[in-house]
Structure 1
Amino acid sequence: MLIRSEMPADHDAIHELTWTAFKPMAYSDDTEADIIRALRADGDLAISLVAEDDGEIVGHVAFSPVTIDGVHDNWFGLGPISVKPGRQRQGIGKALIAAGLKLLDERGASGCALIGNPDVYGHAGFVSDGQLTYLGVDTKYVQRLVLRGLVPRGTLRFARAFGS
């Protein structure tokens, strides 16, 4: 499996993969694939990686700028992340997250935040201590990983494409 940056020829495959991966999820509002297109169009797709296996894109992860209490401070959000059904739980998502976090660190990012299941993202080093909030979501789902600097406190906002 090869993890690489997206190329323009990948855009439709990423859209289809994301739509397919999120379709059966009860928590999905069916906007995830469109969010990636909007992030790209807005210039907010800071990192977009694909996992390719035998020429097929089987996974994708996006990272985009976030603000905490209205300040960017070199923080990024993880997501959406998707893995092809039938290929999930094989370490593809974990590998995509690790590669993306490595790139963020190499670029001098302060950290990364996400909304998600602590049992899933805790293995990648994400934690929730209640210091970050997001639109009334239970703070146990609002997680962060500090790469450098201080632990953030405040209200998390994602890029405009997320509609938050």
Structure 2
Amino acid sequence: MIRFESPADVETIHALTAAAFQRAPHTSHTEHLIVDALRAREQLTISLVDEREGVIVGHVAVSPVSVSGVSNGWFGLGPVSVLPGHQGRGVGSGLVRAALAQLRAQGAAGCVVLGEPAYYARFGFRAEPGLVLQGVPPGYFQALAFDAAMAHGVVAYDAAFDVRPPESENPEALQG
């Protein structure tokens, strides 16, 4: 069952997101902190969970992005988190589809995602040469326009994405 998060889900989402990215390649291991910061900054536009047999096994976050400094109805998808034991079973796909449906229903212009090109292409995302996220390989930054024209410019995510772990959670700091 995919549903909106409730206040009682916050701690579970934090732990689930940390676990989902613990062994993932190409990660900053701050995804759980990003979701917390988006929520605290009231920038978590959509927050859905997948609950199976009373256990939350997946979560997707959606937040506004700006394009060339303008907030124009575009959103960023992610992080998408699935408990390791449930990955590869369609949980993430279901969450992505549900989040995109919610964005369309809310009249969003479009959505961007930073992730594996082959995975996100199945939802209609594609690399757009005129829409860039600085410092990221172009193929991994993809966009999907809804009923509006494709945006062009430099995309910026909310400052919540710049969060860094406290030293007690930062493996690099612990190595001294």
- TM-score bracket, shorter-length normalisation: over 0.9
Cα distance in 1 for residues equivalent to 2:133 and 2:127: 12
**What is the CA-CA distance between 1:138 and the residue it aligns to?**
1.4
**What is the CA-CA distance between 1:93 and the residue it aligns to?**
0.5
**What is the CA-CA distance between 1:107 and the residue it aligns to?**
0.5
Letter in 1 for 2:143: R
Q: Could you say what secondary structure the match of 2:122 adopts?
A: helix
Q: Could you say what secondary structure the match of 1:77 adopts?
A: strand
Matches within 5 A, 1:76-91: 76-91=75-90
Partners of 1:68 and 1:154 within 8 A in 2:
yes
**What is the CA-CA distance between 1:16 and the residue it aligns to?**
0.4
**What is the CA-CA distance between 1:136 and the residue it aligns to?**
2.0
Q: Within the alignment, does 1:159 sit opposite 2:171 as a pair?
A: no
| Paired position in structure 2 for 1:50 | 49
Partners of 1:49 and 1:62 within 8 A in 2:
yes
Cα distance in 1 for residues equivalent to 2:22 and 2:131: 28
Q: Could you say what secondary structure the match of 2:128 adopts?
A: coil
Q: Point out where structure 1 has 5 or more consecutive residues left out of the alignment.
A: none
Q: Could you say what secondary structure the match of 2:34 adopts?
A: helix
TM-score, structure 2 as length reference: 0.90
**What is the CA-CA distance between 1:38 and the residue it aligns to?**
0.3
| Paired position in structure 1 for 2:22 | 23
Cα distance in 1 for residues equivalent to 2:162 and 2:87: 27
| Paired position in structure 1 for 2:38 | 39
Matches within 5 A, 1:111-126: 111-126=110-125
**What is the CA-CA distance between 1:35 and the residue it aligns to?**
0.4
| Paired position in structure 2 for 1:5 | 4
Partners of 1:132 and 1:139 within 8 A in 2:
no
Q: Could you say what secondary structure the match of 1:25 adopts?
A: coil
Greater mean deviation of Cα atoms: 124-133 or 57-66: 124-133
Letter in 2 for 1:123: R
Partners of 1:130 and 1:140 within 8 A in 2:
no
**What is the CA-CA distance between 1:26 and the residue it aligns to?**
2.3
Cα distance in 1 for residues equivalent to 2:139 and 2:129: 7
Letter in 2 for 1:76: F
| Paired position in structure 2 for 1:141 | 140
Cα distance in 2 for residues equivalent to 1:136 and 1:19: 24
Matches within 5 A, 1:59-138: 59-138=58-137
The structure whose Rg is larger is 2
**What is the CA-CA distance between 1:129 and the residue it aligns to?**
2.5
1:79-114 deviations in Å (ceiling 9; x for gaps) = 001111111111111110111111110100001001
Report runs of 4+ in structure 1 exceeding 6 Å deviation. Answer: none
Cα distance in 2 for residues equivalent to 1:158 and 1:83: 22
Count how many residue pairs are aligned between Structure 1 and Structure 2: 163
**What is the CA-CA distance between 1:75 and the residue it aligns to?**
0.5
Cα distance in 2 for residues equivalent to 1:42 and 1:119: 32
